[in-house]
Amino acid sequence: MENQVLTPNDIARIFNISKHTVYELIKRGELRAFKVGNRFRIEQSEVERMKKMAWSKKHVEPN
């Protein structure tokens, strides 16, 4: 299966967050992205990683 490439707008829709938040996640290194020209792109595999990370944070037992 080919790894699809998504835009920050796509990521914002998938996670129901603002595009600004997507750029902040990229800036902080929490979302891996690469540039094509002057535009960011995110691989589908990175989206899957973020989904797993978000799910695990929701299901961690408090100490």
What residue ranges define each of the domains in the chain, with the CATH number in brackets? 5-58 (1.10.1660)
This prediction has a pTM of 0.78
Cα angle 61, 25, 62 (rounded to 5 degrees) comes to 10
Residue 63 — pLDDT band, cuts 50, 70, 90? low
Angstrom distance (rounded) from CA 46 to CA 59: 20
User: What average pLDDT does range 2-27 have in this prediction?
Assistant: 93
pLDDT higher at 9 or 1: 9
Angstrom distance (rounded) from CA 58 to CA 37: 36
pLDDT higher at 33 or 3: 33
| C-alpha dihedral sign at 5, 44, 12, 34 | negative
Q: Where are the alpha helices (DSSP H) in the chain?
A: 8-15, 19-28, 44-58
